[in-house]
Chains A and B, each alone.
Chain A
Amino acid sequence: MRHRAARLVLFIMFALVAPASAQIRVPDTPPPQTRAGGSITAKPPTGPVPHKPNGQPDLTGVWLRRAGVANITQLLPQGEKMPFLPETLRRMSTLKSQDDPQLRCLPLATPRSSPYPFRFVETPTHIFILTESVHAFRQVFMDGRTHPPADELQLTWQGHSIGRWEGNTLVVDSVGFNDLTWFDNYGHVHSDKMHLVERFTRTDLGHLAVAMTVDDPGAYSRPFTLRYTAELMPNADLMEYICDNEQDAANIDAPADAAVDAAKLLGR
């Protein structure tokens, strides 16, 4: 009996000191396990924004972006065009469809998306964004650190990301991307000078408004902002996506869409 009381005191002490962000609620009953991946046609739920005990919005859940996968310009304000530097057009004019990194199962790099969902996992010091596509994750440092100095910054597929909350918006600031990824199936490219700022705002239970500002003086003449709204997939989990049967790259021999258009813009 005394042991039980001691355990209870320990439990209450732990509950009091546990960081607020670790207190995301677990449902009382497990969700129905009908189909692991959920349904593509299920409508996002309606309701108010859920919050963590510390008052910040709770972003957990499986989110799906439907727009701008084939061509990222679908996410620009209407009528706005990509501000290409001439060298970017020259580079794009040489791209082959079969060289698309994603076609070859290499990682997505933001702001690219896929027809697959993503999920936030939050700890007191990190937010991880799990992406179903190519079974990858992004690591966002929430512990107040800055980006490494330029001579220590490694150029990687996912870049170096630090995050902070501005009111109800999660702001993720990323640098240190390599220049190997495309923004979309079309073939928009970027340089390793890309600085990306993403703003995630949960507007209700079922919707997440995302604005991505790309500032890449190595490839574009001015910053531009891409916007989309992700939908919460009800009763969905992330599924495995291991790319072990890629047969497309060997069976394509064609210029990328971007190459055809860039050649026209260059007057060739």
Chain B
Amino acid sequence: MRSQPTAGLRVALLAIAFVWSSALISAHHSFAAQYDATKPIEMRGTVTKVEWTNPHARVYIDVKDDKGQTANWNFEMASPNILVRNGWKQNTVRVGDQITVKGYLARKGERMAIAGAVADASGKPLFASDPTDIGR
């Protein structure tokens, strides 16, 4: 059962992603060295683990592909400190939540990506990292 994001949510996520991708122009090398700005992704899946850790918080989600195969993805976000200062709580995203993530693929790590924006279970779009300074 995979519900699709609502139209309103899609618009909100696109708005965040637009601001985010505009900021990529001035991205520092640690972003470009690790992530591929030419490979944007949008995934929806079930949260299997949240790591509220430094230097980065991470959210792991099970994502089904077109053939129904499930794979676990590791999304890097900003640090808990930066997320909290941008309005997050530690339990904003929980195991079992269905979330939508927009971001960019890692160049090297397998099934790794950076999340620029996350839509939580309630559909509320949230800042997840700033590519001009991913808060390391």
Contact = CB atoms under 8 A, between A and B. Distances in A.
Interface string B74-85: 101001111011
Contacts of A105: 54-55
Contacts of B85: 35, 37-40, 236
A102 B56 contact: no
A98 B82 CA distance: 22
B33 A246 contact: no
A40 B56 contact: no
B81 A253 contact: no
Contacts of B39: none
Interface residues of A, number: 40
Contact of B30 (A35, A100, A114): A100
B81 A239 contact: yes
B86 A103 contact: no
A245 interface: yes
B106 A251 contact: yes
B28 interface: yes
Contact of B29 (A69, A243, A254): A254
Contact of A103 (B30, B32, B108): B30
Interface in A226-243: 236, 239, 241-243
A116 B29 contact: no
Interface in B104-135: 106-109, 112, 132-133, 135
B20 to A, nearest CB: 15
B34 interface: yes
A33 interface: no
Nearest to A259: B29
Contacts of B80: 239
A244 interface: yes
A241 B82 CA distance: 11
A246 B55 contact: yes
A242 B84 CA distance: 16
Interface in A132-160: 132
Given A38-B85, A243-B54, A252 B33 contact: yes
Contact of A248 (B28, B34, B82): B34
A100 to B, nearest CB: 7
A183 interface: no
B84 A239 contact: yes
B102 interface: no
A185 B28 contact: yes
Nearest to B53: A245
Contacts of A132: 81
B30 A40 contact: no
A257 B136 CA distance: 17
B110 to A, nearest CB: 9
A102 B82 CA distance: 16
A16 to B, nearest CB: 41
A185 B55 CA distance: 15
Given A35-B84, A248-B136, A252-B108, A241 B28 contact: no
B84 A248 contact: no
Contacts of B112: 251
A241 B79 contact: yes
13 contacts: A35-B84, A39-B86, A100-B30, A103-B30, A103-B136, A105-B54, A185-B29, A185-B30, A245-B51, A252-B108, A256-B29, A256-B33, A257-B29
Interface of A: 35-41, 69-71, 97-98, 100, 102-103, 105, 114-116, 132, 185-187, 236, 239, 241-248, 250-254, 256-257
